[in-house]
Structure 1
Amino acid sequence: MELSYPITYIGDIATALKDNGINNYIILNQTLALIYADKKFNENILDKIKQVTWWQEARPMSSMIEINRILEGGETVTNASGTNYIYDNPYISVSGEGIMIAIIDSGIDYLHPDFINDDNTSKIISIWDQSSSKGTPPEGMIFGSEITREEINKAIKEKDSTLSRDNTGTGTIAAGIASGNGRKNALYKGVATKSELVVVKLREYEGLFEEGKINYYNTDFLAGIKYVIDVYKKEKKFLVVNLSIAEKSRAYVLTNLLDTFEELKNPGVIVVSGAGNEGNTDIHYEGVFKDKKSPHDIVIEVGLQKLLDISIASNGPDKIGAAIISPSGEMSYHATYEPENDEYYGKFILEDSPYEMRYSYPWLLSGNEELLMRIINIKPGIWTLRLFPEVLISGEYDIYLPNQNLIPENTRFLDPNSFATITLYGATESVITVGAYNDKTRSMWIGSSKGPIKGRGVKPDIVAAGVDIISTFINQGYTTSTGTGVSSSLTCGVIALLMEYIYQQGPTMRKLLFTKVLKTYLMLGATQNEIYTYPNSSQGYGVLNLQNTMKAIASKI
């Protein structure tokens, strides 16, 4: 696996990188760039390039869609989204026409009839297959192949499935929920049936933490965001970006790297993210120091895996040191904040497990401390994380393991906390964050991540159906799936309908086509159960209700 890094920069970064022998890079915008390098790359060189203001090794991401692979007992998208109110109403004529929905996931089965129009042309504007070497990369990119609508249309005519393949199926599921037209089976159509798709098939990496588990990287994901924006500029259509994959959860977030893309703040561009699938996965621990005298010991059970990442975040200006104690009783270095030393390396001799610790203070995305600890060749057993209070104001801290679907089920905190488990990209106000609701039981799906974002308010914003939803699948089939990526996909389709409806009302109403404004209308229209207080950390402002939201918008016309 090659190494990759997101970096923020000032000045002429292209010249600066080339002058330092770095030739594989992608400039995403005026602030953010990506570097790709081989395993021998000395990343410390980045500290010496004055144009580089911040850098970080690529972080793993994983899917927020769990594939059930059965149809029995599934719920149709139509019932889950309430779109009969739209499609059966003679006075409302919207279907998502003129709206692009971006799917950045595992790809798409472009031969599925539900992505083919009645004239046998594709609903897909283009695909960037990051793992393909058959064609040329999109402009400004350095890997993968761009597949145009013309090429897809030709493949449809010839029944050629070799242009790009979705080997996992989650991308095809997300696309079908948001946009599938139901040509193969009208019962299983998606939400915005005449919307169009722009698709990024992310490169897959296997076995980072555990053999057989697939992960993505945030560098490739951010490159996908850049590609989607480039297509949006060319097509000059409204855009809804669906985030159905997730980076690690975070409790303290002021911003994220999506905020560097100014185009995502434009009217007519909406970003929707799943809240995360970590609500019952034991990957989060929350603690508070009462004094500066006593360290805290946090117990982690570790299963059979290759390595483990542990992230520690403090609240506010607090500084916390840390060490790891292995099952055999060896203790690592005591990592503590020192301006001239932010990296520690060592090895547990008896376990034969090297480790590294990276200190960030302040961390770019929160302004707080972030300490990342990685144990390589980690052995199964009970490991203890020992935290040392150094500078305390609030004393609060949060610790996270990787997303559960990347690690063994028995790797977990023994005393976990299910709150503050919202994924990083769903944690800011610039994104509509959606949790997963179970329509069958009229209750939250147990795996849906919970808020809050500490010091920043309530998340998720709303919740939407996300359990056993029927959608398109690979090999021109259908399946059911569950997760907050399902809920975000459904919400993206609903937003496409709302955007078309608002656009139809004329220029004065188009001022509503901003993320924060549409988010407010979704909140106003959400269904609330009288036994709960809203907003809350599980459901946000309530359950997505398309009919009520349409009425709330209509009342302003």
Structure 2
Amino acid sequence: MSKILDNSYYDLLITTALAPTYDTGDNITYLNRQNSLLHIPIGTPNPCDLGRHSYSSFPTLYVQTSTVSLERSGVNTVQNNPNLALFGRGVLVAVIDTGIDYSHPAFRNSDGSTRIVSIWDQTVQTGTIPTNFTFGSEYSREQINTALNSEDPLSVVPTTDPIGHGTAIASILAGSPNEEQSFRGVVPQAEYIIIKLKEAKESLKSLLFVPASKVCYQETDILLGIRYAVTVAERNNSPMVICIAMGTSQGSHSGRGPISDYLDHLTLLPGNGVSVSAGNEGNNQRHYFNATAAPPFYNDVELRIGEKDTMFSLQIWSFSPSRITIDISSPNRESTQPIFPTLDQCRRFSFIFNQTTIYVNNTIFEGKTGDQMILLRFNNPLPGIWYLRIQATTNEPFTFHSWLPSGDLLSNETFFLNSNPDTTITAPANSRHPLTVTAYNQNNSSIVPESGRGYTRTGLIKPDIAAPGFQITCAVPGNQYGTATGTGAAAAHAAGIIAMVFEWAIVKENYVRMTGNDANRLMIGGAVRNPAYSYPNNIWGYGQVEVNQLFERLITQ
């Protein structure tokens, strides 16, 4: 078995330049020019393996970011203009998600043939592994068409989407029209690259205190999916738009990390667009912020832990040059006493009068940012209100953020009592150059309440733009149609608009050097802005996407 699939190995992120020094023949998986994976045997699992190996070397865990309005964003107006008529022809759209129901009419041409160029299913190991990759199965357009013409398609191309999220996102982006369902994707003549992600390794979930029953995905598998999409687009010599409708609250929220760095690079190249959902953490009460400017230099955080959450993690990030300690008190007032920052120490605390165990990594500097990071991992916590005293090691002002896990990795019974809805955009949406998309209700022009809010922890202006994201009609597996709500749906909508820009600029040769960043700036420039607000702001970004204004500005001489 490939070690990237083997649950008895950790997948550690290393710099690709160092990979040859670790390579023993089968323990390295190349990701891109910046990063590779080093597979090391776990042996006897120990939560303090995170400490022996740095936090930044372990992949983060991602969750989905979604649960009908083309006219509202101006798409119909542009497509009905005979001088534009932009439907995504000649553009590839890559969806990196939970797979696709490839037999659904939303992904087929009028003659019944597929609109999918290729599928890489990371979960199936019986087919042909893509060139220069080490696992999964690749299915070509020809194989998919053969399957569609057979009595049992899954016997030919055995890839499915049991969750349905990837099918929904792909259909909102570029689904073929269905008049009976009042459905049409934004660019129904674009063609697809589909990457079905394998679920995260149980060993990684266990290390990060994520229950085994929770569905989530490894950062590194998404990174491989991006690389696969790039290789297919290069092979087809076509412009491409990548849609990532997933996110994580792990990490520094500063736009740093392997996926962010890769997407930043791609978005600055001609013909590569990236649309990323802002996440749905805006109203979950899972973010806490404090700036202590005057004595006494400490702050007490109140965290309510619900009965359903028997294991989870929490992160605290401070800003240099201050250094902070943490003292954790249970609802019955047992305390760890102050825990001081160290280079790589992992400490275990067991409480006498309850069954709680807490692992604490108070790291002087995290590898990607250089900032102090405190990681708390709770096992069997006593339900009730816990108290976290954050205190400066010296009598000076300090500032910190804290985040709980995103999505359904945590129940709604666990939250900060004095939470802050800002700085809740999930990674990689806090990257600098990709288009970060929040969701609004197209029926009443209000923001969808759960939409992640900016800015980033370091003040970068995010989100960039708001797109329709409330009960958007979409395809669901089994030839059915439903709706999707959330920033994932909005990101899919915005990805379709980037594809329209690429068709006009690159396919129709009006501006063949168009980059994803160029397209983003055009969308921001053409956005609708409510005079009641000042822009940019941390909820709406630069306003609501409006394609008609975008092209009016672009083609008006």
TM-score surpassing 0.5?
yes
- Residue of structure 1 equivalent to 2:199: 204
**Which one of the candidate residues 21, 24, 43 is aligned to 1:18?**
24
- Corresponding letter in the other structure for 2:290: G
User: Quick one: structure 1 residues 11 and 445, their matched pair in 2 at CA, closer, same or farther if it must change by over 3 Å?
Assistant: closer
Helix, strand or coil: the match of 1:489? helix
- Residue of structure 2 equivalent to 1:195: 190
Q: Are 1:419 and 1:451, in contact at CA under 8 Å, matched by a contact in 2?
A: yes
- Residue of structure 2 equivalent to 1:531: 532
1 CA distance for matches of 2:176 and 2:471?
Answer: 19
Matched, 1:175 2:179: no
User: Quick one: structure 1 residues 40 and 216, their matched pair in 2 at CA, closer, same or farther if it must change by over 3 Å?
Assistant: same
- Corresponding letter in the other structure for 1:170: H
Question: What are the ranges of 5 or more consecutive residues in structure 2 without an aligned counterpart?
Answer: 1-6
Matched, 1:321 2:321: no
1 CA distance for matches of 2:363 and 2:240?
Answer: 35
- Corresponding letter in the other structure for 2:172: I
User: Quick one: structure 1 residues 403 and 12, their matched pair in 2 at CA, closer, same or farther if it must change by over 3 Å?
Assistant: closer
**Which one of the candidate residues 301, 305, 310 is aligned to 1:302?**
305
Work out the number of aligned pairs and report it: 538
Q: Could you list the per-position Cα deviations for residues 416-441 of structure 1 after superposition, in whole angstroms to 9, with x for gaps in the alignment?
A: 00001011201121211010011112
- Corresponding letter in the other structure for 2:527: A
Q: Are 1:305 and 1:379, in contact at CA under 8 Å, matched by a contact in 2?
A: no
2 CA distance for matches of 1:197 and 1:12?
Answer: 35
Helix, strand or coil: the match of 1:455? coil
- Corresponding letter in the other structure for 2:379: I
Q: Could you list the per-position Cα deviations for residues 60-84 of structure 1 after superposition, in whole angstroms to 9, with x for gaps in the alignment?
A: 2111011xxxxxxxx2x43354321
1 CA distance for matches of 2:122 and 2:133?
Answer: 10
- Residue of structure 1 equivalent to 2:412: 409
- Residue of structure 2 equivalent to 1:430: 433
- Residue of structure 1 equivalent to 2:4: none
User: Quick one: structure 1 residues 379 and 543, their matched pair in 2 at CA, closer, same or farther if it must change by over 3 Å?
Assistant: same
Matched, 1:290 2:285: no
1:536-555, aligned counterparts within 5 Å?
Answer: 536-555=537-556
* TM-superposed deviation, 1:209: 3.7
* TM-superposed deviation, 1:147: 1.9
- Corresponding letter in the other structure for 1:78: L
- Residue of structure 2 equivalent to 1:142: 134
Q: Are 2:60 and 2:219, in contact at CA under 8 Å, matched by a contact in 1?
A: yes
TM-score by length of 1: 0.89
Helix, strand or coil: the match of 1:520? helix
Matched, 1:8 2:9: no
* TM-superposed deviation, 1:362: 3.1
Q: Could you list the per-position Cα deviations for residues 426-467 of structure 1 after superposition, in whole angstroms to 9, with x for gaps in the alignment?
A: 112121101001111211111111111143332101101100
TM-score by length of 2: 0.89
2 CA distance for matches of 1:3 and 1:527?
Answer: 50
2 CA distance for matches of 1:425 and 1:523?
Answer: 19
1 CA distance for matches of 2:295 and 2:36?
Answer: 40
Q: Are 2:175 and 2:187, in contact at CA under 8 Å, matched by a contact in 1?
A: yes
- Corresponding letter in the other structure for 1:176: S
**Which one of the candidate residues 353, 357, 366 is aligned to 1:354?**
357
2 CA distance for matches of 1:131 and 1:394?
Answer: 49
Helix, strand or coil: the match of 1:139? coil
- Residue of structure 2 equivalent to 1:93: 85
Q: Are 1:59 and 1:217, in contact at CA under 8 Å, matched by a contact in 2?
A: yes
Helix, strand or coil: the match of 1:434? strand
- Residue of structure 2 equivalent to 1:72: none
Q: Could you list the per-position Cα deviations for residues 229-252 of structure 1 after superposition, in whole angstroms to 9, with x for gaps in the alignment?
A: 222222221111111000116675
Q: Could you list the per-position Cα deviations for residues 382-412 of structure 1 after superposition, in whole angstroms to 9, with x for gaps in the alignment?
A: 2222212125775211000001422111111
- Residue of structure 1 equivalent to 2:388: 385
- Residue of structure 2 equivalent to 1:70: none
Q: Sequence identity of aligned pairs in percent?
A: 27
- Corresponding letter in the other structure for 2:24: K
User: Quick one: structure 1 residues 15 and 364, their matched pair in 2 at CA, closer, same or farther if it must change by over 3 Å?
Assistant: closer
- Residue of structure 1 equivalent to 2:3: none
**Which one of the candidate residues 443, 449, 463 is aligned to 1:440?**
443
Question: What are the ranges of 5 or more consecutive residues in structure 1 without an aligned counterpart?
Answer: 67-74
Output the aligned Cα RMSD: 2.7
Helix, strand or coil: the match of 1:534? coil
* TM-superposed deviation, 1:110: 0.2
* TM-superposed deviation, 1:104: 0.9
User: Quick one: structure 1 residues 47 and 299, their matched pair in 2 at CA, closer, same or farther if it must change by over 3 Å?
Assistant: closer
1 CA distance for matches of 2:54 and 2:350?
Answer: 30
Matched, 1:84 2:88: no
- Residue of structure 1 equivalent to 2:476: 473
Q: Could you list the per-position Cα deviations for residues 116-150 of structure 1 after superposition, in whole angstroms to 9, with x for gaps in the alignment?
A: 12333211111121221222432333332222222
Matched, 1:334 2:329: no
Question: More displaced, 115-124 or 484-493?
Answer: 115-124
2 CA distance for matches of 1:9 and 1:302?
Answer: 38
Q: Are 1:132 and 1:145, in contact at CA under 8 Å, matched by a contact in 2?
A: yes
- Residue of structure 2 equivalent to 1:397: 400
User: Quick one: structure 1 residues 145 and 360, their matched pair in 2 at CA, closer, same or farther if it must change by over 3 Å?
Assistant: farther
1 CA distance for matches of 2:509 and 2:394?
Answer: 56
2 CA distance for matches of 1:2 and 1:187?
Answer: 48
2 CA distance for matches of 1:493 and 1:94?
Answer: 10
Q: Could you list the per-position Cα deviations for residues 248-278 of structure 1 after superposition, in whole angstroms to 9, with x for gaps in the alignment?
A: 1667515231244344532111111111101
- Corresponding letter in the other structure for 2:249: K
Helix, strand or coil: the match of 2:143? helix
- Residue of structure 1 equivalent to 2:276: 273
1 CA distance for matches of 2:500 and 2:181?
Answer: 18
- Corresponding letter in the other structure for 2:86: V
- Corresponding letter in the other structure for 2:29: I
Question: More displaced, 83-92 or 523-532?
Answer: 83-92
